[in-house]
């Protein structure tokens, strides 16, 4: 019966490794186009993931194989007594130092990636200078505020700002930055395709930058519990060419400031009246 | 009992337990008992009852994920006839909040510290009871106000709906969501009561272990179980006050409007809370300063218990006794400085994240050392596949998976993607269900004879293990894939989003596995209740184990030992020549165990190195 149990315990690591190996083929891996991130930074993050996966897979297979082998031998052991040993100092040193070095390497290896990702000093300058939108999360929708064409995003809402709900347009091929905030409770800005996640904290304005490298419509979801409707904060990020993006902004301007007579109402002179309407 | 024994180390217990009389009637013997063994059994039954509750809540969550918005069978129409038996999103948030709350605060922490801590500490160190028996009794009875608070929150106030982490502002302002009202206040109160209970326990354990060890029981002769419980008690004592303080701050926020945790200018339900000036991040720091060490509170006792049980089951001394202690201490001390890894995406200064990342990476090291040591303990042993062994190996293999997936969490850029997805859920279920509960199952089976004087049924135990292990892996392993595909936690209906639509079949598979796993627990309950009354009678030492509790009768009488024990050596002397036995009780000094030599490598399977008498 002991052998049966050994096989039982052998089965699980084998099943785990096989299912992980075939995950990309059956679509169990990262979302969208062949599990490839839609941003260069995302591709680097995936690279780090696969590196860690490799390390952990080797450790996992190794420890499980040794464990099952030890069990197999142990269940065969017909000796009167087991081996008497209290341990081995050399072995302890070896298996402390080797994982220690690997872990330290992994820790140091990812520092640059993290700095590029989140430390503001390392953000692309162009993106920092001109945030393209302010993203406000609220129960249970996403609101976007763009500056008027040719203007810069101001911390306070401006009369000629453009607004949209649950649909964020961004140009691809260049780094863009958004200002993230929350109006009520805590939310989290999660763009799985771009491997972006940042909590929106009430009371804080958090800059987030990303650079999409291909066109597409990507899901934007909320990753931090924000109440009963948490699951239905459904929005899209539409990544398009610079020309399409400018077109979109133009259309948005026209829609928003159309006064019913076929004219565009908003200009610098009558922006005050628009502001009071809001 | 007042015989003074010569102590080989000159060590005498400093503190004698308060003389408490043997219990008289049924009431003082079984209900308000101050006997640590009865309190352990009270904890055991209470936590097992709560395990059923927590498991039922989990199955309800899984039902919604497999068959969203479909009427829940059997209990659905009865519970919420208004919604035709459907789980509403409000109810769903309450379900997972309460599942986590019940499992963490009412099952895992009390079953480890309460049941095994109470049962084993006095027995394993050779004391006749805890240092503070009445405090001990109170620590059990404070579980009940907590259960009542949680129950009232659930039954009368609609249930708390802010997750077990209770992040502000959702949990801090009554109008933030259905479930953020009175239910949340009751929930906070319940957590505080559980905190009182744990605190009383941990003070008692620390005092008992430090002061009441039998003569000869030096710190480095303590069984690893006691080391695990001791370090856990220290963790509790230092981390818990922070959560309690945070909890009080949240209560005053809610009831008195102190606004520690919410800033001004919020617009919730179109109502502006006029004052503010707080910061939600503050709660996260306070909360995780307790709740990250709490992860180890839920793991370290099991690590200790597994060490003793595994060593007994393979008839070998534990490999690297001192490294095991040092690694437990390292886990505990690092456990205090890694709380920030729960907050990598929170908006906390990202530069601080780097420090937390390095510390978190390093905490994997002592865990790895322990795993290697357990494996080396099995190596060259004599393995008999009984229920205890199986559950120990189940612990070991699940812990490896949970530990390794923790490395992904520690790597911040990867964690940013995985944070709050099912990958995290997979990770902590592998650790908390996979590792901890298998350890608990092994522990129940192993110490059952000491609790009730009877053995548990092997066939039932093995079947229970088999089904639970299959069910657990079937439920929790696919969660890694859900996480890879970006499925966030706590979604009542993930299929609403285009990129998650195709996950329904995988979720259904997991739910079926979860039902299998849940049903398997019926076997555990049958086994416990059947064996309590009809199991074969156990002698003093049915496992041929070495530690002190096995020198006492099963079950031990009031006062535990026939005479105060004296200890001569460390806890795991197996594979020795002691007459016709291969083990040496800690109280036996006849046989000098062979000296372990450094040249002796783990490859020595033959017994040619035996140098004993």
Q: What is the DSSP annotation of B403-431? A: HHHHHHHHSHHHHHHHTTBHHHHHHHHII
- Residue among A67, A219, A225 minimizing CB distance to B490: A225
Query: In this complex, do A9 and B485 lie within 8 Å of one another by their Cβ atoms?
Result: no
B347 has a chain A CB within 8 A of its CB: yes
Q: pLDDT-based confidence at B613, cuts 50/70/90?
A: very low
- pLDDT at residue number B609: 40
For chain B, positions 98-137, list CB contacts with chain A under 8 A: none
Tokens of B54: 């927590």
pLDDT at residue B32 above 90?
A: no
Q: How far apart are CA B464 and CA B480, in angstroms?
A: 25
- pLDDT at residue number B321: 95
Alpha carbon distance, N-terminus to C-terminus of chain B:
34
Q: Are B61 and B475 in contact (CB under 8 A)?
A: no
Q: What is the dihedral of CA B187, B188, B190, B196, to 10 degrees?
A: 170
Q: What is the pLDDT of residues A162-187, one digit of tens each?
A: 999 999 999 988 999 999 999 999 99
**CB-CB neighbors (< 8 A) of B162 in chain A:** 225
- pLDDT at residue number A265: 56
Q: Structure pTM?
A: 0.91
Q: How far apart are CA B449 and CA B550, in angstroms?
A: 10
Q: pLDDT-based confidence at B339, cuts 50/70/90?
A: very high
Quick check: helix, strand or coil at residue A208? strand
Distance from CA of A167 to the nearest CA of B (A): 14
What is the mean predicted confidence (pLDDT) over B471-491? 95
**CB-CB neighbors (< 8 A) of B357 in chain A:** 107, 110, 114
Q: How far apart are CA B234 and CA B242, in angstroms?
A: 14
Query: In this complex, do B419 and A225 lie within 8 Å of one another by their Cβ atoms?
Result: no
Residue with tokens 């490839």: A36
Query: In this complex, do A48 and B414 lie within 8 Å of one another by their Cβ atoms?
Result: yes
- pLDDT at residue number B431: 95
pLDDT at residue B80 above 80?
A: no
For chain B, positions 578-597, list CB contacts with chain A under 8 A: 582, 593-594, 596
Give the CA radius of gyration of chain B.
Answer: 25
Q: Which of B594, B597, B589 is nearest to B610 (CA)?
A: B594
Residues of chain A with pLDDT below 70 are 1, 33, 261-278
Distance from CA of B177 to the nearest CA of A (A): 6
- pLDDT at residue number B563: 86
- Residue among B163, B266, B411 minimizing CB distance to A225: B163
Q: Are B490 and A230 in contact (CB under 8 A)?
A: yes
- Residue among A9, A85, A99 minimizing CB distance to B319: A85
Q: What is the pLDDT of residues B255-287, one digit of tens each?
A: 998 889 999 888 887 777 667 889 999 999 999
Q: pLDDT-based confidence at B508, cuts 50/70/90?
A: very high
**Cα-based distances in Å from A68 to A73, B469, B563:** 9, 16, 43
Q: Are B131 and B20 in contact (CB under 8 A)?
A: no
Q: How far apart are CA B371 and CA B376, in angstroms?
A: 9
- pLDDT at residue number B13: 52
- A159: CB partners within 8 A, 6+ apart: A266, A271, A272, A274, A275, A278
Q: What is the pLDDT of residues B415-450, one digit of tens each?
A: 999 999 999 999 999 999 999 999 999 999 999 999
Q: How far apart are CA B34 and CA B135, in angstroms?
A: 8
- pLDDT at residue number A264: 60
- Residue among A67, A111, A221 minimizing CB distance to B397: A67
For chain B, positions 144-163, list CB contacts with chain A under 8 A: 161-163
- Residue among B314, B347, B358 minimizing CB distance to A199: B347
Q: Are B201 and B114 in contact (CB under 8 A)?
A: yes
Pairing of strands A187-191, A216-222: antiparallel
pLDDT at residue B10 above 60?
A: no
Query: In this complex, do B407 and A86 lie within 8 Å of one another by their Cβ atoms?
Result: no
Query: In this complex, do A74 and B365 lie within 8 Å of one another by their Cβ atoms?
Result: no
Query: In this complex, do B404 and A59 lie within 8 Å of one another by their Cβ atoms?
Result: yes
Q: Which of B428, B471, B455, B413 is nearest to B555 (CA)?
A: B455
Using a 10 angstrom Cβ sphere, with 0-12 exposed, 13-18 middle and 19 or more buried, the burial of residue A8 is middle
Q: Are B204 and B130 in contact (CB under 8 A)?
A: yes
What is the mean predicted confidence (pLDDT) over B391-395? 96
What percent of chain B stands above pLDDT 70? 91
Pairing of strands B574-578, A167-171: unpaired
Q: pLDDT-based confidence at B403, cuts 50/70/90?
A: very high
Q: pLDDT-based confidence at B470, cuts 50/70/90?
A: very high
Is the backbone of residue B163 left (phi > 0), alpha (psi -120 to 50) or beta? left
Q: Which of B36, B95, B44 is nearest to B65 (CA)?
A: B95
Lowest mean pLDDT among B195-199, B221-225, B606-610: B606-610
- Residue among B90, B383, B488 minimizing CB distance to A228: B90
**Cα-based distances in Å from A83 to B220, B427, B502, B606:** 22, 35, 53, 7
**B502: Cα within 13 Å, side-chain hemisphere:** 10
The DSSP secondary structure of A65-122, one letter per residue, reads HHHHHHHHHHHH--SSS-------HHHHHHHHHHHHHHHHHHHHHTHHHHHHHH-GGG
Mean pLDDT of chain B, nearest integer? 89
Q: pLDDT-based confidence at B20, cuts 50/70/90?
A: low
Smallest CA–CA distance from B367 into chain A, residue: A96
- Residue among A99, A197, A225 minimizing CB distance to B170: A225
Query: In this complex, do A198 and B477 lie within 8 Å of one another by their Cβ atoms?
Result: no
Lowest mean pLDDT among B12-26, B178-192, B334-348: B12-26
- pLDDT at residue number B545: 94
Lowest mean pLDDT among A95-109, B481-495, B589-603: B589-603
How many C-beta neighbours within 10 Å does residue A152 have? 11
**CB-CB neighbors (< 8 A) of B600 in chain A:** 85, 88
Q: How far apart are CA B356 and CA B358, in angstroms?
A: 6
Chosen for mutation from A118, A185, A237 (greatest number of chain B CBs closer than 10 Å) is: A185
Chosen for mutation from A30, A140, A228 (greatest number of chain B CBs closer than 10 Å) is: A228
Q: Which of B5, B194, B10 is nearest to B101 (CA)?
A: B194
Smallest CA–CA distance from B390 into chain A, residue: A5
């Amino acid at each position: 019966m002991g052998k049966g149990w050994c096989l039982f315990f052998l089965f699980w690591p084998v099943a785990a490794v096989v299912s992980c190996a075939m995950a990309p083929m059956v679509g169990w891996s990262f979302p969208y186009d062949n599990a490839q991130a839609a941003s260069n930074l995302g591709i680097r993050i995936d690279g780090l993931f696969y590196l860690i996966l490799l390390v952990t897979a080797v450790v996992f297979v190794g420890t499980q194989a040794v464990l099952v082998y030890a069990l197999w031998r142990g269940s065969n052991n017909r000796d009167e007594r087991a081996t008497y040993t209290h341990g081995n100092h050399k072995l302890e040193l070896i298996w402390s130092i080797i994982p220690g070095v690997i872990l330290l390497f992994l820790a140091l290896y990812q520092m640059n990636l993290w700095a590029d990702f989140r430390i503001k000093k390392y953000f692309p300058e162009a993106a920092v200078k001109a945030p393209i939108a302010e993203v406000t999360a609220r129960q249970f929708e996403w609101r976007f505020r763009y500056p008027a064409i040719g203007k810069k995003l101001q911390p306070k809402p401006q009369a000629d700002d453009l607004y949209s709900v649950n649909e964020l347009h961004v140009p691809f091929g260049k780094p863009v930055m958004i200002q993230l905030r929350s109006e009520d409770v805590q939310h989290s800005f999660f763009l799985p395709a771009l491997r972006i996640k940042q909590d929106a904290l009430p009371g804080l304005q958090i800059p987030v930058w990303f650079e999409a490298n291909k066109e597409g419509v990507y899901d934007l979801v909320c990753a931090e519990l924000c109440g009963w409707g948490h699951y239905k904060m459904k929005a899209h990020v539409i990544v398009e060419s610079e020309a399409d993006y400018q077109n979109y902004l133009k259309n948005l301007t026209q829609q928003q400031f159309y006064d019913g007579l076929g004219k565009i109402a908003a200009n610098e002179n009558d922006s005050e009246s628009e502001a009071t309407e809001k | 009992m007042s015989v003074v024994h010569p102590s080989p180390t000159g060590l005498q217990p400093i503190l004698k337990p308060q003389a408490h009389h043997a219990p008289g009637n049924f009431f003082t013997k079984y209900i308000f008992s101050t006997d640590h063994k009865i309190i352990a059994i009270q904890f055991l039954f209470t936590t097992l009852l709560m395990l059923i509750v927590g498991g039922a809540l989990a199955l309800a969550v899984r039902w919604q994920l497999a068959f969203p918005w479909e009427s829940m069978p059997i209990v659905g129409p009865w519970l919420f006839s208004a919604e035709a038996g459907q789980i509403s999103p409000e109810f769903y948030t309450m379900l997972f909040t309460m599942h986590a709350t019940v499992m963490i605060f009412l099952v895992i922490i009390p079953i480890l510290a309460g049941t095994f801590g109470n049962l084993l500490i006095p027995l394993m160190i050779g004391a006749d009871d805890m240092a503070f028996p009445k405090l001990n009794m109170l620590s059990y009875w404070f579980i009940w106000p907590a259960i009542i608070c949680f129950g009232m929150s659930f039954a009368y106030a609609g249930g708390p709906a802010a997750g077990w982490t209770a992040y502000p502002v959702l949990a801090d302002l009554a109008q933030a969501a259905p479930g953020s009202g009175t239910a949340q206040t009751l929930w906070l109160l319940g957590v505080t009561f559980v905190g009182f209970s744990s605190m009383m326990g941990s003070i008692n354990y620390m005092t008992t272990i430090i002061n009441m060890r039998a003569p000869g029981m030096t710190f480095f002769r303590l069984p690893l179980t006691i080391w695990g419980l001791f370090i856990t008690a220290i963790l509790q004592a230092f981390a818990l006050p922070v959560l309690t303080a945070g909890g009080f701050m949240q209560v005053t926020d809610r009831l008195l409007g102190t606004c520690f945790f919410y800033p001004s200018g919020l617009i919730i339900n179109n109502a502006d809370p006029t004052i503010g000036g707080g910061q939600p991040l503050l709660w996260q720091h306070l909360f995780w300063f307790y709740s990250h060490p709490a992860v180890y509170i839920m793991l370290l006792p099991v690590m200790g218990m597994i060490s003793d049980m595994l060593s007994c089951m393979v008839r070998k001394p534990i490999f690297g006794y001192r490294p095991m202690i040092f690694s437990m201490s390292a886990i505990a001390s690092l456990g205090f400085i890694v709380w920030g890894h729960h907050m990598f995406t929170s908006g906390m200064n990202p530069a601080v994240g780097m420090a937390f990342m390095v510390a978190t990476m390093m905490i994997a090291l002592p865990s790895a050392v322990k795993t290697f040591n357990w494996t080396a303990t099995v190596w060259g042993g004599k393995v008999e596949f009984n229920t205890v062994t199986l559950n120990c190996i189940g612990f070991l293999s699940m812990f490896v998976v949970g530990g390794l997936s923790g490395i992904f969490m520690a790597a911040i850029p990867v964690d940013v993607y995985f944070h709050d997805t099912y990958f995290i859920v997979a990770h902590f279920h592998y650790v908390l269900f996979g590792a901890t509960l298998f350890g608990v199952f092994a522990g129940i089976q192993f110490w059952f004879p000491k609790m009730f004087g009877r053995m548990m049924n092997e066939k039932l135990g093995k079947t229970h293990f088999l089904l639970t292990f299959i069910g657990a892996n079937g439920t929790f392993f696919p969660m890694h894939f859900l996480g890879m595909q970006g499925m966030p936690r706590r979604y009542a209906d993930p299929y609403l989003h285009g990129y998650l639509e195709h996950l329904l079949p995988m979720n259904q598979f997991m739910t079926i596995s979860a039902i299998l796993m849940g049903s398997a627990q019926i076997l555990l309950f049958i086994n416990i209740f059947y064996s309590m009354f009809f199991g074969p009678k156990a002698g003093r030492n049915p496992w041929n184990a070495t530690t002190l509790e096995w020198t006492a009768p099963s079950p031990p009488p009031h006062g535990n030992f026939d005479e105060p024990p004296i200890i001569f050596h460390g806890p795991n002397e197996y594979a020795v020549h002691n007459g016709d036995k291969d083990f040496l009780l800690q109280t036996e000094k006849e046989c000098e165990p062979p000296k372990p030599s450094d040249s002796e490598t783990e490859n020595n399977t033959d017994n040619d190195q035996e140098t004993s008498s």
